[in-house]
Amino acid sequence: CPLHLDEVRHFLTLCPELSLGWFEEGRLVAFIIGSLWDQERLTLDALTLHKPHGTTVHIHVLAVHRTFRQQGKGSILMWRYLQYLRCLPYVRRAVLMCEDFLVPFYQKSGFKVRGPSEITVGPLSFTEMFHPVWGHAFMRRNSGY
């Protein structure tokens, strides 16, 4: 997981409604941590800030415990998370940054490449991706949209 435990706790405290976990027999086996962001592109501040009036969900991490990988849990959890985001009337898009080898995984979930991220960590560079979630009125029954 690219987040330290204190960062996970930070986002779970600020915006627990933007996180989702998968439990099996009482054990957390996969999770997504998100926060709101108020710009189209991610900046260094997006790594630590939650912007409560933002319309973009920054997906900080999708993590699957190593003994539960290669079982489709990451894809299923992401699908459920995106379905959930469609029910939140203030969310317009989801964004994330990932290493190049993960781009095909996120493309299978419907994410599109936006381009190179301006954020780097040491020698690591990232690709920024986005997924529109607004405009799916069929998922927002009785929401007034």
- The residues carrying an active-site annotation are 35, 49, 60, 62, 106
DSSP-assigned letter for residue 119: E
Residue 55: name the closest of 84, 29, 94, 20 by CA.
Answer: 94
Beta bridge partners of 112: 130
Residue 128: name the closest of 38, 41, 32, 18 by CA.
Answer: 41
* Whether 89 contacts 143, CB under 8 Å: yes
